[in-house]
Every structure is written in structure tokens, then in C-alpha cells.
Structure 1
């Protein structure tokens, strides 16, 4: 197969979404802004360049956006040692390679965070290339990361594996299907409503169902 499987990383391959939620909550509080945790969690998956305005409004973005993002990184970095891969993460990526697909990782995370996750996942020889926030100026739900990831592995047709409605929206904008996992904490109904062509509870289930996704007409 000449298709590419593009994997999101945070919330899809590594269990980070709730760590991100707590770090953003604390970052806002550091600057005397209180945003409910549920609202932050629902925005996890979009890039930090968009999240501040999305959850706290344009005025907070204008006045404090960069300061909040700096605080978020300072607060999240100590949590890196707590991050673990989801069960079956490496095996799901390996299955995509076994099926003859190229594999790209499309992360909007900080480069040092993504490198840390790659080490945790032990994807040497499996991932053909990867992206981080430094590769684009506009993050998810914009499709730029997907475009860069696909270009880096040679183009062609693709399917995105993600965990958030922002992944689904980015895939729709880019014109590729998105299969979604419940690992990010978003319901199956919301993921399907956002355009997911399939929803899986675990990466083991995804691995079992990957062949028709990469060989069928939707891909």
C-alpha cells in the first residue's frame, strides 16, 4: 500500500490530556484567570496558539496569552516523568507498517515534548517522520500539521488517527478521513458527530480494525 497513516500523539499514543488540562488550569490561575477544568479539557487537542482565546476569550489572549503559554510549559514540563504510553501504542504503529503503510506523527506539541514521547514509544524504525509546533504557524484544527506530515513522508493518500474533535475537524479540512479513539476523554457520539469514520475504545481495537481503514475506499 502507498497510503500513509498519520497518528496524532498527545491523547492518542501517550496519556497526556488530563496532565495538559491541569497544567493549563494552573497556568491561568497563576495570572489570576480562572477557567473551569471541563472547558479546558474540551479544548485539549487544539494548539496552544488557539487554546487561550478559545477557553478564556480574546481579551485574555491579547493581554496574557504568551505569559499563560510560558507558564503552561513551565508547569507541564515537571509532569513529563508521569507520562506513559497507552497500552498497545507501539503495536498499533507497527501494524500500520506491517500493512505496508508509511507512518507520520502529526503532533502540535513542543519539540522537546515530542522527542520525549518518541523515546517512550520506542518508535525507531516505525515512524517515517514527525512534526511539532515549530513546523507550522497555525495548529489544529487547521490542517497545516497534517499537510506537513504527509509531505514529509512522500505524499499520497492518508488517514488520520486521533482522539479529539479537533483532529476530526483538521482531517475534514485537509480532505482525509479520521478514525478516533476514546483515549482523549471525548465521547464516541461527539467524535462521530465531528466526522470520525470509526471510533475505537483502545489502541488494541484500532490495531484489529486497521486493515479495512487503510485498504477501503474511505482512505
Structure 2
């Protein structure tokens, strides 16, 4: 792309290593509410927003009975694991590489604002972001495209502006597709390459650092 592009980077699971902590926090939260699900099933839904995860996992009845209580418990359980969270390899290098190419950068997350703030501080990238989103900005989270639309709105640009999403899950790719954006993914979400490709990912990399090293071969060149 000849003109500067908007890079929308997922934070949770893409830049910081949180996916398995989220799965365990949801397991503990749901079990405390009387519902026990295999952790592998929960993991398959990480990256989907919490407003949709309980129903996707247990159905409308479970969502109606314990959805809000489970989400509150999930926050409590995940808070306990915050000291364990570390950046993924090359995460800050990727953001620097994006900015060095003149692109505008949005750090987009459907996580809780306090978690997003903690991760931005952990990455030491507050001065690099042109905008930041969190769950409080949207009514429906991924795979709905709302979060990506808000990311563009925060920059004051139209929905058809040249933008690229970097994420780690099939839910990120589906949200990007629903928003009309290409999606590049890193493997930290734990999904298979075939799943990510079938969802529509235009590039797959092991780590943010690997993507940074290959950025010139992507739509963010």
C-alpha cells in the first residue's frame, strides 16, 4: 500500500501472552458458578468477547442463569494471574516497526480497560499508540466487527480506510473479515494454520518478532 495504513493490533494474546491464563480463569469462574467445562473447549473460544463466550460454551440457558456472575468471577480470577503475564517475543519491536513505516497504530482489545492499561504499561508502548480501545467502547465484541469500527472512529477516519488487523485467533480473523479488513495472525492463540487460513488470514507468523522481521512482505510494508 503506497499510502500510510492503519494498523489495528489486538493486545490480549497477540502482544502479551494471556490466552491460557484466560482459559484457566474462565474455567475457575464457571466452576464457581456450578458449571464445569473441559478447559480445551474454553480455550477454543478465547479471543471471543466475554459477552459471547458463556453462551457459545454452554448455550442460552447457561448464559441466562450465570452469564453475568461468571463474567464478574472471571475478572476476579484473571486479576490474580496478572503478575504472570509477560509480553510475547518481539511485541514492542513489531509496534516500533509499524510506526517506523509511517502507519497509524491502534491498540485494540475487547478486554477490561484496567487490563488493557496494565498490558500497555507492561509493553511500554503508551507513547506509540494513536488510539486504544477496550470492552467499554462497544456493545458487541469479537467476532462482531464493532471493535474495529470503533478503532477507525477514534482516528476520525471512514470505515473504508486502508486498515490491517494483527491478531491471534480465528475470532480476530472473522472480525476483520466482517469489517472488510485483511488479517495477519501470530500463532499464540493456539489455533492451527489450516483453521486460520480457512478463516481468511493473509499471513501467519510464530511471534510478533517474526512478523516484525517480515513486515515488508505484508500489507503493512
TM-score (norm: length of structure 2): 0.95
Residue 37 (structure 2) pairs with residue 35 (structure 1):
yes
Question: What does 1:1-219 align with in structure 2 at a 5 Å threshold?
Answer: 1-155=3-157, 156-214=161-219
Given the superposition, is the C-alpha separation of residues 193 and 59 from structure 1 closer, same or farther in structure 2, using an over 3 Å criterion?
Answer: same
Alignment size in residue pairs: 216
| In structure 1, C-alpha distance between the alignment counterparts of 2:97 and 2:154, rounded to whole Å | 20
Given the superposition, is the C-alpha separation of residues 134 and 215 from structure 1 closer, same or farther in structure 2, using an over 3 Å criterion?
Answer: closer
Q: CA-atom RMSD, angstroms? A: 1.1
Residue 31 of structure 1: CA displacement?
A: 1.1
Q: Is the 8 A contact 2:164 2:220 kept in 1?
A: no
Residue 124 of structure 1: CA displacement?
A: 2.7
Q: Is the 8 A contact 2:7 2:103 kept in 1?
A: yes
| In structure 2, C-alpha distance between the alignment counterparts of 1:125 and 1:212, rounded to whole Å | 26
Give a deviation string over 1:65-114, Cα, whole Å, max 9, x none.
Answer: 00010111111111111111111100101100001100001100000000
Partner-residue secondary structure (3-state), 2:191: coil
| In structure 2, C-alpha distance between the alignment counterparts of 1:33 and 1:125, rounded to whole Å | 42
| In structure 2, C-alpha distance between the alignment counterparts of 1:82 and 1:179, rounded to whole Å | 26
Residue 215 of structure 1: CA displacement?
A: 5.2
Q: Which moved more, 1:107-116 or 1:30-39?
A: 30-39
Q: Is the 8 A contact 1:99 1:211 kept in 2?
A: no
| In structure 1, C-alpha distance between the alignment counterparts of 2:33 and 2:126, rounded to whole Å | 40
Q: Is the 8 A contact 2:7 2:220 kept in 1?
A: no
